[in-house]
Amino acid sequence: MKVGIVSTYLPQRCGIATYTDYLVRAMLKNPDISVKIIAEDLAESKREENLEVIPAWNRNEDYPEKILPLTEDIDVLHIQHEYSIYSFDERLPSLLERVKKKKVITIHCIRPAQFCERYDVDEKYAGRIASLADRVIVHLETQRAILERLGIPLQKIHVIPHGTRITHEDPVESRKKFGLPEKGKIMLIFGFIKPHKCIHIAMDALKMLLSKVDAYLFIGGWIAPSAKPEHKEYVEFLLDKMKKDNLEERVIFYKGFIPEEDVTYAFGACDVVLFPYYEEDRSASGSFHLAIGAGKPVVASRIPKFEELKNISDELLVLPYNAEGLAGVLLRLFTDRDFERYVKERVEDYKEKTSWETTAKRHLEVYNEGV
């Protein structure tokens, strides 16, 4: 079977590009599969055994005309959708209508109307492109529920968790790579700094912990190149708060973009990964899966984005903005050996269930469904 995948792709700095790379590498372990990635034009052209990458289109142009001719020799077309890549115009629906091969679309994010500045534009667009595909893949049950409400037949919708890359970096060497303290508990918040990640709540929790635990907060990222003014203001707020709360020796900012080859070491260096976010998008977290792939406990806000965490332990979910609750869960992880052991065993189980190899097999089942 030859699969055509429309997506951003490496070395473009894009979560969808990285996701596609992991998925494709896992699929290609099946010798009966070949893949043509029909990529946005920031990708690197590549030709390997059973893999071809063709940088062919740009999101600011009439991309269906560039993509359509490249679908003639494939058996299945799989589109990786994210709002910021394809916008809300007629181009993507037009492409789906004109392609005559089997069409699969992964909808990575769905925004409910009541939480969207465009009101119902986002969810209706997701419903429309889902209706034009033969099969739809989402990562969360909450996403499936919205599509069902929008009239998409349940038999068309497949919930496949975001894949997990399993890593085993040495903690001591990982800490050395980032110049982190050799001793003490390290809590990681990974990625670009944005207000919705509520890093200030983690700083408040850290301050509560310090009388009982030798701990540090490592902010593994910095401002995105395309950061909005309010993101830059938030960083200034965090730096000021760090000084006011006397946390300069306890909060460590990486102050840069962690290269892809060093990402696994960032997770290898920590004891726990924090996601004290507050957002209403229905989308999975790639960083969450990097964390569990490294065998690390996760503590996250009780929001749709981290609904998967209940499959490890519902007790690791904390109400948004609840610094005291966050500190309480962390204290238990750091001091209750039985609870820590229970969580880590559950992490090991869930990372195997969501490994990229398992995820890829489920994709192949979707491609073959009805064939």
Domain range summary for the chain, segments of one domain joined by +: 2-163+356-368, 171-353
**Angle in degrees, CA 152, 156, 159, rounded to 5:** 100
Q: Which helix (H) or strand (E) holds 26?
A: helix 15-27
pLDDT tier for residue 113 given thresholds of 50, 70 and 90: confident
Q: Enter the DSSP assignment of 262.
A: G
Arithmetic mean of pLDDT over the chain: 96
Q: How many helices and strands (H and E) does the chain possess?
A: 14, 16
Q: Which of 15-24, 44-53, 220-229, 326-335 has the lowest mean pLDDT?
A: 220-229
Q: With a cut of 90, say whether residue 226 has pLDDT above it.
A: no
Q: Which of 85, 88, 82, 93 is nearest to 57 (CA)?
A: 85
pLDDT of the residue at 209: 97
Contacts of 157 (CB under 8 A, 6+ apart): 130, 136, 138, 144, 147, 148
Of 7-21, 277-291, 326-340, the range with the highest mean pLDDT is 326-340
- Is-contact 123 112, C-beta < 8 A? yes
Fold of 2-163+356-368: Rossmann fold (3.40.50)
Q: With a cut of 90, say whether residue 224 has pLDDT above it.
A: no
pTM (predicted TM-score): 0.91
d(CA 315, CA 354): 20
Q: Is 224 helix (H, G, I), strand (E, B) or coil?
A: coil
- Tell me, yes or no, if the two domains 2-163+356-368 and 171-353 fold the same way: yes
pLDDT tier for residue 371 given thresholds of 50, 70 and 90: low
pLDDT in tens, 172-182: 999 999 999 99
Please state, in angstroms and as integers, the Cα–Cα distance from residue 354 to each residue in 11, 120, 147, 160, following that order.
Answer: 25, 32, 23, 9
Q: Which of 355, 371, 369, 350 is nearest to 27 (CA)?
A: 355
Identify which has the larger pLDDT, 358 or 15.
Answer: 358
pLDDT in tens, 37-67: 999 999 999 999 999 999 999 999 999 999 9
Mean pLDDT across 249-267: 94
Q: Which helix (H) or strand (E) holds 361?
A: helix 356-368
Q: With a cut of 60, say whether residue 303 has pLDDT above it.
A: yes
CATH of 171-353, one of 3.40.50.2300, 3.30.450.20, 3.40.50.2000, 3.30.1450.10: 3.40.50.2000
